[in-house]
């Protein structure tokens, strides 16, 4: 089983050090393996360096994929931490 | 000639140029080291020890940054802790050591590779994070080599403008502000953490001054303009004179080396908060009337294992000695799940701020508490000005228990015993506490957080967390009244806030404990103040129902001390 969810990064500065640190700290509270994907690059959600090196700007669409016992809760929490859900067309 | 760069921290500095080294790979000859390790396991053990020591050091630096400059600066340093725990940094280092690399070479090769990846990112802000990673790698490599960089930038004298290829965030925090007047570096940007810290420290700084180190000779006289982003080398005399006048205009206030009184003759003690012997020395130099809060936890966090009674007694004696006869109030170990202490196991908790911390933790770890109380009793026997205060007290039972422990482990101890008022229950019971202790001290940071149920580090709650919230101000008023004749001091950040001096004196507080460098400014404000007028204006502030009404009423108080 895996769980996956996409999100649009809402922080106006993108995934910078402070929000990235918060993101990583939150990710480390889950047991599941967690991968953050932006475009063609992927990184370990539990690694600050893994997240920073993706160079994620504000408004980027990213996806979080989890494998593990708490995968559903993890992707849900991390996606909502990053920001809003992608626009589905309605306002 | 003039070298131009990016202005990142305003102000003018005149000084002799001192060039400091850039990051260099740690050059360690394994065979030269006494007792050199041979097996891979031994090497890994050395590496783990170096990382552990680095973690303790960075934790202590972050805590110090929080005290001096606030949460934003502390977060900059705490970022480095995440690097130490990062699998993408640690795992390749382990792999390299396992396949035969010398540990410091492995640390340096992985750190450089990671920094290179970050440095090549498009986002200019993220690129600057490479410097943070290099700062961590350098520290661990130094530790492996048995070197300490702490203090490497000390030992300078006269007015100095520091030139470097690059200056790390932790080096910036370590600068001797009595000597270093300005900073100029070849690399860096406005968003470098070193630049942000320079701004917060108020040191004029120019970064990105390409070609600087080739163009200058150490010892040259330079004029640094942190507003224009220029560094003029060997300028003409009139340029130097003008810059000196400009720099002097921003010079700190004169030190007042004795207790001050308000205009109407009310004596106010301006004390300093400190975490190290060096802090105490600095506080004395800034004219502090004593140490109102000595945080003993840094002694614990800075060493790889728990300091025993003798080590503590020696440290506390050095603190009392450095205070030169002024009173010193030691706070017993104040840590919790969020502040790890090597050698002391604290279970991870859902909510460390409402968990086992302060007195709760020490009462649950009696050998640690006993040794500390014994060491403090020995110090008090030799230095009469020593007091001891207990953090995170929430009920009288905890004080009863502390007294019982004292009777058992240090009968005949002579120090005065006090309690911190930072948990709301202690604020509500303050009259009861006042009857049972020799003094009280209000920790406004934690009291505010607990009263408002808002973590001041949470960016989403910035509008809620305020030490000027009407509820906090009314609590401070009730605490002062409830304490009656028991001396009560303020030792949180509020005490050093320029907007609060008149307010706290108006509320009836007579002892303010602030960060050492703020002592001259607080004393200066006290001397300008009329306590009667402050009391009248404070009554208006206390009637404020909303936060914004407080702001308006505070202005009256500010004008009083202008």
Summarised one tens digit per residue, pLDDT across range B408-421 is 999 989 999 999 99
Dig out the tokens for B561 from the structure.
């001390």
In the prediction, which pLDDT does B279 show? 84
Residue B230 DSSP SS3: strand
Taken in order of first residue, the domains within chain B and their CATH numbers are 40-144 (1.10.274.10), 160-249 (3.50.30.10), 261-560 (3.20.20.60)
A-chain residues within 8 Å CB-CB of B117? 53
Residue B323 DSSP SS3: coil
Residue B93 to residue B83: CA distance in whole angstroms: 13
Q: Tell me which residue of B299, B279, B388, B311 sits closest to B342, measured CA to CA.
A: B299
Q: Is the model's pLDDT at B28 over the cut of 50? A: no
Dig out the tokens for B125 from the structure.
């802000």
On whether the CB atoms of residues B436 and B417 are closer than 8 A, the answer is: no
Mutate to test the interface with B, among A14, A15, A34, A48 (most CBs of B within 10 A): A48
In the prediction, which pLDDT does B37 show? 54
B-chain residues within 8 Å CB-CB of A16? 125-126
Residue A18 to residue B76: CA distance in whole angstroms: 8
| CB-side neighbour CA atoms (13 Å) of B347 | 7
Is B324 known to be catalytic? no
Mutate to test the interface with A, among B82, B125, B192 (most CBs of A within 10 A): B82
| CB-side neighbour CA atoms (13 Å) of B114 | 31
B319 or B31, greater pLDDT: B319
8 Å CB contact of B83 and A49: yes
Average pLDDT, chain B: 87
- Looking at the DSSP bridge assignments, the partners of residue B389 are B331, B418
Give the closest-approach CA distance of B82 to chain A in angstroms: 7
A-chain residues within 8 Å CB-CB of B121? 52-53, 55
Chain A residue nearest residue B122, CA to CA: A55
Average of pLDDT values for B46-72?
A: 86
Average of pLDDT values for B427-448?
A: 96
Q: What DSSP state is assigned to residue A57?
A: P
Residue B121 is nearest to which of A17, A24, A55, comparing CB atoms? Answer: A55
Residue B512 to residue B121: CA distance in whole angstroms: 47
On whether the CB atoms of residues B89 and B110 are closer than 8 A, the answer is: yes
Residue B379 to residue B412: CA distance in whole angstroms: 13
8 Å CB contact of B126 and A47: no
Catalytic residue among A4, A14, A16, A61: A16
Q: Is B272 exposed, middle or buried (0-12, 13-18, 19+ CB in 10 A)?
A: buried
Average of pLDDT values for B336-349?
A: 78
Sign for the CA dihedral angle at B61, B385, B423, B396 comes to positive
> Model confidence over B261-284: pLDDT tens digits?
999 999 999 999 998 888 898 888
3 state SS for A38-50: ECCEEEECCCHHH
In the prediction, which pLDDT does B34 show? 43
Residue B158 to residue A44: CA distance in whole angstroms: 49
**Beta-carbon contacts below 8 Å between A and B:** 54
B-chain residues within 8 Å CB-CB of A49? 83, 86, 88-89, 114, 118, 133
8 Å CB contact of A50 and B88: yes
8 Å CB contact of B86 and A49: yes
| B205 band by pLDDT with thresholds 50, 70 and 90 | very high
The count of residues in chain A is: 91
Domain boundaries, chain A: 3-82
> Model confidence over B469-521: pLDDT tens digits?
999 999 999 999 999 999 999 998 789 877 788 999 999 999 999 988 788 88
**Paired sense of beta strands B439-442 and B488-490, if any:** parallel
Q: Which regions in chain A score pLDDT beneath 70?
A: 1, 84-91
A-chain residues within 8 Å CB-CB of B86? 47-50
CA B511 to chain centre: 21
Give the closest-approach CA distance of A71 to chain B in angstroms: 20
Q: A81-85, B39-43, B73-77, B139-143: which range is least confident on average?
A: A81-85
B-chain residues within 8 Å CB-CB of A80? none
In the prediction, which pLDDT does B29 show? 41
Residue B52 to residue B59: CA distance in whole angstroms: 11
On whether the CB atoms of residues B36 and B241 are closer than 8 A, the answer is: no
Q: Is the model's pLDDT at B329 over the cut of 90? A: yes
- Looking at the DSSP bridge assignments, the partners of residue B225 are B12, B230
8 Å CB contact of A16 and B126: yes
In the prediction, which pLDDT does B26 show? 41
Residue B443 to residue A45: CA distance in whole angstroms: 37
Residues of B with CB under 8 A from a CB of A: 75, 78-79, 82-83, 86-89, 114, 117-118, 121-123, 125-126, 129, 132-133, 459
| CB-side neighbour CA atoms (13 Å) of B120 | 6
**DSSP state string for B408-429:** HHSTT--SEEEEEE-SHHHHHT
**DSSP state string for B112-156:** HHHHHHHHT-SSHHHHTHHHHHHHHHHHHHHHHTT---TTTT-S-
| B126 band by pLDDT with thresholds 50, 70 and 90 | confident
CB atoms within 10 A of CB B301: 22
Dig out the tokens for A14 from the structure.
């993108």
Q: A64-73, B153-162, B249-258: which range is least confident on average?
A: B249-258
Q: Residue B328 is inside which H or E element, if any?
A: strand B328-331
In the prediction, which pLDDT does B151 show? 57
Dig out the tokens for A32 from the structure.
């599941």
8 Å CB contact of A49 and B79: no
8 Å CB contact of A52 and B118: yes
- E-strand stretches of chain A: 3-8, 33-38, 41-44, 61-67
- ipTM for the complex? 0.84
| B249 band by pLDDT with thresholds 50, 70 and 90 | low
Mutate to test the interface with A, among B62, B88, B337 (most CBs of A within 10 A): B88
Q: Tell me which residue of B157, B182, B329 sits closest to B247, measured CA to CA.
A: B182
Name every residue whose Cβ is closer than 8 Å to that of residue B176 and which is 6 or more positions away in sequence.
Answer: B153, B154, B156
8 Å CB contact of B122 and A46: no
A7 or B255, greater pLDDT: A7
8 Å CB contact of A18 and B75: yes
On whether the CB atoms of residues A8 and A64 are closer than 8 A, the answer is: no
B159 or B404, greater pLDDT: B404
* Cα B439 to Cα B88, B113, B329, B383, B491, distances in angstroms: 50, 55, 10, 18, 13
8 Å CB contact of B114 and A49: yes
In the prediction, which pLDDT does A45 show? 93
| CB-side neighbour CA atoms (13 Å) of B513 | 27
Residue A53 is nearest to which of B87, B117, B132, comparing CB atoms? Answer: B117
* Cα B17 to Cα A74, B241, B245, distances in angstroms: 53, 17, 19
A68 or B551, greater pLDDT: A68
On whether the CB atoms of residues B74 and B339 are closer than 8 A, the answer is: no
On whether the CB atoms of residues A5 and A52 are closer than 8 A, the answer is: no
8 Å CB contact of A48 and B83: yes
A-chain residues within 8 Å CB-CB of B115? none
Report the Cα–Cα distance between both ends of chain B, in Å, rounded.
Answer: 42
On whether the CB atoms of residues B299 and B330 are closer than 8 A, the answer is: no
On whether the CB atoms of residues B269 and B259 are closer than 8 A, the answer is: yes
Q: Can you identify the CATH homologous superfamily of domain A3-82? A: HPr-like (3.30.1340.10)
Q: Radius of gyration of chain A from Cα atoms?
A: 12
Q: A48-62, B301-315, B337-351, B497-511: which range is least confident on average?
A: B337-351
Catalytic residue among B23, B231, B469, B491: B491
In the prediction, which pLDDT does B453 show? 94
Chain A residue nearest residue B71, CA to CA: A18
**Paired sense of beta strands B328-331 and B386-390, if any:** parallel
> Model confidence over B210-231: pLDDT tens digits?
888 888 888 889 999 988 889 9
Residue B409 to residue B389: CA distance in whole angstroms: 17
């Amino acid at each position: 089983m895996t769980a996956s969810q996409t999100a649009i990064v809402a922080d106006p500065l993108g995934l910078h050090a402070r929000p990235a640190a918060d993101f990583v700290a939150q990710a480390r509270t889950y047991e599941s393996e967690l991968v953050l994907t932006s475009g063609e690059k992927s990184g370990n959600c539990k690694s600050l360096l893994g997240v920073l090196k993706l160079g994620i700007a504000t408004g980027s669409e990213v996806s979080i994929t989890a494998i593990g016992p708490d995968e559903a809760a993890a992707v849900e929490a991390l996606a909502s931490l990053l920001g809003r859900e992608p626009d589905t067309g309605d306002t | 000639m003039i070298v131009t760069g990016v202005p990142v921290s305003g102000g003018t500095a005149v000084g002799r140029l001192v060039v400091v080294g850039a990051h260099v790979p740690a050059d360690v000859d394994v065979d030269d080291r006494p007792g050199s390790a041979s097996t891979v396991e031994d090497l890994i053990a050395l590496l783990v020890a170096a990382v552990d020591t680095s973690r303790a050091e960075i934790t202590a630096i972050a805590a110090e940054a929080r005290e001096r400059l606030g949460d934003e600066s502390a977060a900059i340093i705490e970022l480095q802790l995440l690097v130490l725990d990062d699998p993408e940094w640690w795992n390749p280092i382990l792999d390299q050591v396992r396949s035969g690399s010398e540990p410091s070479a492995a640390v340096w090769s992985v750190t450089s590779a990671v920094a290179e990846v970050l440095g090549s990112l498009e986002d200019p802000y993220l690129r600057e994070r490479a410097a943070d990673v290099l700062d961590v790698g350098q520290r661990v490599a130094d530790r492996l080599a048995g070197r300490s960089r702490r203090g490497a930038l000390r030992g300078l004298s006269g007015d100095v403008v520091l030139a470097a290829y690059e200056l790390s965030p932790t080096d910036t925090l370590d600068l001797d502000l009595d000597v270093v007047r300005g900073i100029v570096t070849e690399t860096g940007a406005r968003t470098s953490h070193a630049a942000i810290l320079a701004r917060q420290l108020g040191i004029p700084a120019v970064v990105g001054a390409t070609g600087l180190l080739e163009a200058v000779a150490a010892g040259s006289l330079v004029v640094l303009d942190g507003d224009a982003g220029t560094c003029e080398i060997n300028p003409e005399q009139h340029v130097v004179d003008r810059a000196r006048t400009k720099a002097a205009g921003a010079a700190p206030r004169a030190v007042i080396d004795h207790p001050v009184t308000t205009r109407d003759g009310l004596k106010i003690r301006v004390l300093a908060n400190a975490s190290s012997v060096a802090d105490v020395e600095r506080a004395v130099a800034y004219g502090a009337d004593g140490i109102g809060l000595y945080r003993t936890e840094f002694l614990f966090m800075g060493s790889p294992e728990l300091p025993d009674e003798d080590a503590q007694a020696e440290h506390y004696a050095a603190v009392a000695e450095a205070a030169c006869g002024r009173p010193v109030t030691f706070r017993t170990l104040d840590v919790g799940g969020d502040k790890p202490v090597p050698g002391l196991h604290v279970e991870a908790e859902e909510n460390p701020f409402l968990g086992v911390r302060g007195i709760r933790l020490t009462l649950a770890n009696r050998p640690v508490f006993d040794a500390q109380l014994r060491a403090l009793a020995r110090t008090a026997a030799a230095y009469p000005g020593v007091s001891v205060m207990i953090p995170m007290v929430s009920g009288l039972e905890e004080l009863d228990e502390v007294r019982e422990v004292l009777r058992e482990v240090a009968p005949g101890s002579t120090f005065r015993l006090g309690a911190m008022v930072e948990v709301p229950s202690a604020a509500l019971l303050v009259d009861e506490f006042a009857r049972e202790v020799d003094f009280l001290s209000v920790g406004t940071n934690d009291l505010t957080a607990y009263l408002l149920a808002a973590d001041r580090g949470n960016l989403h709650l910035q509008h809620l967390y305020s030490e000027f919230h009407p509820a906090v101000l009314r609590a401070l008023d009730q605490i002062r009244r409830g304490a009656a004749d028991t001396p009560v001091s303020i030792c949180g950040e509020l005490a050093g806030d320029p907007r609060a001096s008149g307010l706290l004196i108006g509320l009836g507080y007579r002892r303010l404990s602030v960060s050492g460098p703020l002592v001259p400014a607080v004393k200066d404000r006290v001397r300008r103040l009329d306590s009667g007028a402050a009391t009248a204006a404070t009554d208006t502030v206390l009637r404020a129902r909303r936060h914004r009404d407080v702001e308006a009423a505070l202005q009256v108080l500010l004008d009083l001390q202008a």
